[in-house]
Chains A and B, each alone.
Chain A
């Protein structure tokens, strides 16, 4: 009897968690199909792409980190929205833009001329700096 109740509870909790899971999640970027919300270019390069998930669950894609930055500067930052950047070292995977670190320098040819690459943490940005050069920035520096 107790077991049955437990199982029902478990199922209930599982169902609930599914509900939460499908509510607000960044979908994977569809390279070659999605368009950049700001510059209208097709998103092609998994090393530089970026994304925005609004509090309502709408996904915007960007072909370059600098496009997301310009979009944020234009429309203002919303605390409820989630911002994503590509991990330069792991093309195709997205990291939280607010905690990521950035490298800006002439040797980085990002799609929209912003010379911007993003990394998941400070140490990987510093490692990349030794080979690529440029200066390290945080999200706050970028959207200033």
Chain B
């Protein structure tokens, strides 16, 4: 240490007098920095102890290890099955499983409760939480603390999987959550309530009520997750603004994703598929504004997107493939924009329930468009009306769906082509693309 400072001082002493003052400041700064780093490294080595939980030794339960631990310690848990109930982690520790130890909650209450900041839980199998109607029971419950990290766990047969209430900052990654397939009793896989700045990535969630549920959760990132076979929604936002979700797959859920009563949500590169059912949607937008939906794939859903009370939402470069209805847009939607989307193989491209429509479509590719492009600019010469006459009749008379693919329905389509003025909905794509947009 002294040597370094001496050398530095010699070097700097050789400098010209006007720079001497500056040099001395720099020297001071360097010395103080190195002292701080030295102290920090000492303090870390002094505090971070390792405690190992192993059956047959003195510390054979996690609770015993927790009693011994101090802030910053690492508790390693060796492979075994531990029967636990409401383990309270109230110190800033890392709980690390070696060889996937099992924490069995015996169907009584929560399995783990975290109430201290900077806690890490990594590499456990957590199963059998309690199920209760009065209080939400969870595999891992985090309450009123900051910067939690929940990594690489397998949660089985828990009511709620991971439950965050009033948490600021954290990471939930690499977890697999498997619900018990009971419709009424199941809770949500990852549940956030009044939390912000949480990163949720690389998780897989099956058989819960909602895969991921956000209520008053803001500034969160959700990416690369798989949410499948959940009873209600793959992902569900309620009153949660300013969140992003990207590169997720939502497959075969009761409905795909519901974004409700929120604004400023970015939805990018997600896949919404196989959400079949009488009232299912790939994406439900209900009372949402100023959001961005881009590069997503909507395939094989009853409705690709269902929009109600949706304002100033931009829908760009998505693929709508083989849906019953690609887009259902109720008349109370305003100022939404559909640009450069591909509509392929849908039974109906657009449906709506009113004649006035204050939204904007441009440059989309519609496989049902049969107009010409005589000036060869890549855009159809006539505008395309995506709300077919037949779908307007179904709107008035739902049982007319019985005539789908019949001669009568085809006749209506042909009649509409010949006389576009038959259609009374004023929604049309002004420049339909002649080619699939890539």
Contact = CB atoms under 8 A, between A and B. Distances in A.
21 contacts: A32-B183, A32-B184, A32-B231, A32-B232, A33-B278, A35-B279, A39-B260, A39-B286, A40-B308, A41-B232, A41-B258, A42-B233, A42-B255, A44-B183, A44-B184, A44-B209, A44-B232, A45-B184, A91-B133, A113-B215, A113-B238
A46 B184 contact: yes
Counting from the closest, the 4 A-B pairs by CB-CB distance are: A32-B183, A42-B232, A35-B279, A91-B133
A91 B306 CA distance: 30
Contacts of B136: 109
B231 A44 contact: yes
Contacts of A113: 215, 238-239
Nearest to A131: B134
Interface in B196-254: 209, 215, 231-233, 238-239, 254
Interface string B131-157: 001001000000000000000000000
Given A91-B133, A92-B184, 12 more contacts: A31-B183, A32-B184, A33-B278, A35-B279, A40-B286, A41-B232, A41-B258, A41-B260, A42-B254, A44-B184, A109-B136, A112-B238
Interface in A17-39: 31-33, 35, 39
B53 interface: no
A35 B280 CA distance: 10
Interface centre among A42, A45, A112, A113 (most CB of B within 10 A): A42
B84 interface: no
B192 interface: no
Contacts of B232: 32, 41-42, 44
A47 B233 CA distance: 19
B286 A32 contact: no
B350 to A, nearest CB: 18
B284 interface: yes
A40 B286 CA distance: 8
A46 B278 CA distance: 21
Contacts of B254: 32, 42
A31 B260 contact: no
Contacts of B239: 113
A127 to B, nearest CB: 13
Nearest to A42: B232
A39 B233 CA distance: 14
B227 to A, nearest CB: 15
Interface centre among A33, A40, A112 (most CB of B within 10 A): A40
A32 B207 CA distance: 13
Given A40-B308, A44-B231, A47-B133, A31 B215 contact: no
Interface in A33-73: 33, 35, 39-42, 44-47
A40 B254 CA distance: 13
A91 B279 CA distance: 24
B306 A40 contact: yes
A113 B216 CA distance: 10
Nearest to B231: A32
A40 B284 contact: yes
A46 B30 CA distance: 65
Contacts of B278: 33
Interface in B294-332: 306, 308
B257 to A, nearest CB: 12
Contacts of A47: 133
Contacts of B231: 32, 42, 44
Nearest to A40: B286
A83 B240 CA distance: 30
A104 to B, nearest CB: 17
Contacts of A40: 258, 284, 286, 306, 308
Interface in A92-125: 92, 109, 112-113
Nearest to A92: B184
Interface string B265-281: 00000000000011100
B51 to A, nearest CB: 36
Nearest to A91: B133
Contacts of A46: 184
A42 B284 CA distance: 11
Given A42-B254, A109-B136, A31 B308 contact: no
A44 B183 CA distance: 8
Contacts of B306: 40
A32 B238 CA distance: 18
A18 to B, nearest CB: 28
B412 to A, nearest CB: 29
A33 B255 CA distance: 10
A112 B238 CA distance: 8
A36 B143 CA distance: 30
